[in-house]
Amino acid sequence: MGVAGAPSLALINGQLLGTWGGNNAVLMALDTTAHVHIGCTAGDTKQAIVTDDQGRFDVPGMYNITLHPVARGPRPSGAVRRLDRRGGVMTLSVTLTDTAVTLGPVTLVLGQEPRMGPCPICRKPAPRRVR
């Protein structure tokens, strides 16, 4: 689902685009939606991410903080917030408005492959050996 991009393509008409990766976190921003993982959690927006003139955003979405070992379903009141962006680096937090839980802040770099931790839903499967 990710779209990798060069730092010069991070914003088009104020719209945030591309894959922003970090330690145990990723934001994949497309032209009509975005997907976020912080640790073993995940969420989606139902709209593009458009920044203000300071490079900040506050976007409603669905977020699931209970993906493993049993996924209980997303909460409809999460908000994805970018705190600060300088060039190809951003600081991101996700706030669940129904529980006051905040995930992050995490530092993400445009075009960087995320380094996801031990959560089995986030890891790329190991290559299978052919016998």
Mean pLDDT value across residues 15-40: 91
Q: Taking 70 as the threshold, does the pLDDT of residue 121 lie above it?
A: no
The residue among 52, 48, 78, 45 whose CA lies nearest residue 63 is: 78
pLDDT given for residue 125 in this prediction? 54
Q: Provide the pLDDT for residue 76.
A: 53
Q: Which two tokens stand for residue 116?
A: 């996801």
Per-residue confidence (pLDDT) for residue 20, from 0 to 100: 92
Check residue 7 and give its pLDDT. Answer: 37
Give per-residue pLDDT as tens, 92-116: 988 887 777 888 999 999 999 999 8
- Residue range 37-80, pLDDT digits in tens: 998 888 888 899 888 877 788 888 888 887 766 666 665 555 56
Question: Which pLDDT score is estimated for 57?
Answer: 86
Residue 101's Cβ-side half-sphere holds a number of Cα atoms within 13 Å equal to 13
Query: Does the predicted model carry a pTM greater than 0.85?
Result: no
Query: Measured between alpha carbons, how far is 102 from 79 in angstroms, rounded to an integer?
Result: 9
